[in-house]
Amino acid sequence: MSQPPDLVPPHAWCLFLDVDGTLIELTDTPFDAHVDDELKSLLKDVAGVLDGALALVSGRSIECLDALFAPLHLPTAGLHGVERRSASGATQGAGDASQLDAARTALATLVDAHPGTLLENKGRTVAVHYRMAPQFQAVIHRAVAQIATGLGSAYHVQGGNMMLEIKPAGFSKGDAIDAFLEEPPFKGRTPVFAGDDLTDLDGFEVVESHGGASIGVGDRVTGRYHLADPAAVRAWLTRIASQRKPRT
């Protein structure tokens, strides 16, 4: 696999970026994540080069991403496509957080009984992480599947890197990218999506179906192109940002 293109000429491309494991290193818990000012400035410059055609596409909520990347306010898809904010600022989301109340209670009991596991309440979705307690993987998978079954067909289990998430069915990162591609400034551009996890594969399929390029980060997924880690992603973005016209 080769290095991804540097998006020349910039007006022909649009860029979609996963966050955890792609832009920033994975941490033991999602609450430990940090976005430094250098990365924020870099993303601002890349967005400027691409005339604003850059969006975050993440499993985190939009609210969480806004807090991490403040003061940036980028087009964003959160919760694996369950919610999305367009470049115009219009936000839409699916699912009612209250419908997961019983599941949250059951998952909290599950986590309490298995030290090292962690409950992440995202509002419209809820996740259990077992990165710090991998010995409980089998029991967590069984229990989460059973709890999700009780919610009916409107919800399903989304797998991730040492985590499971109960979320509204019928939404994916690929769907979110498709929606962005119907709107300015993304419409008419060739899409590129960089991601590191199985949850990003739907997005890979979508950008490739539009004649674009997928970039697998790390060793969990394979895309058309490859970058070794978030540091390599940052170096690639720096090359793109260098195309920014100097201020006069």
Q: Does residue 245 register a pLDDT over 80? A: no
Q: Are residues 132 and 206 in the same domain?
A: no
Q: Is the peptide bond before 71 cis (omega within 30 degrees of 0)?
A: yes
In a domain? residue 4:
no
Among 232, 19, 83, 222, residue whose Cα is nearest residue 213: 222
Residues 6+ apart with CB under 8 A from 236: 3, 4, 6, 227
In a domain? residue 1:
no
**Looking at residue 151, which CATH number applies to its domain?**
3.30.70.1020
Three-class SS state of 181: coil
User: What percent of the chain has a predicted confidence (pLDDT) above 90?
Assistant: 89
Note whether 161 and 26 are within 8 A (CB): yes
Q: Which two tokens stand for residue 199?
A: 């949850």
Distance CA 20, CA 90 (A): 24
Domain boundary residue among 109, 140, 168? 168
Q: Are residues 90 and 177 in the same domain?
A: yes
Look up the domain containing 116 and give its range: 97-168
Q: Does residue 157 register a pLDDT over 50? A: yes
| Residue 248's pLDDT band (cuts 50, 70, 90) | very low
Domain boundary residue among 168, 187, 209? 168
Axis-axis angle for helices 37-49, 230-241 (nearest 10): 50
Candidates 6, 18, 51, 200; catalytic one: 18
Query: 18 an active-site residue?
Result: yes
Residue range 29-55, pLDDT digits in tens: 888 999 999 999 999 999 999 999 999
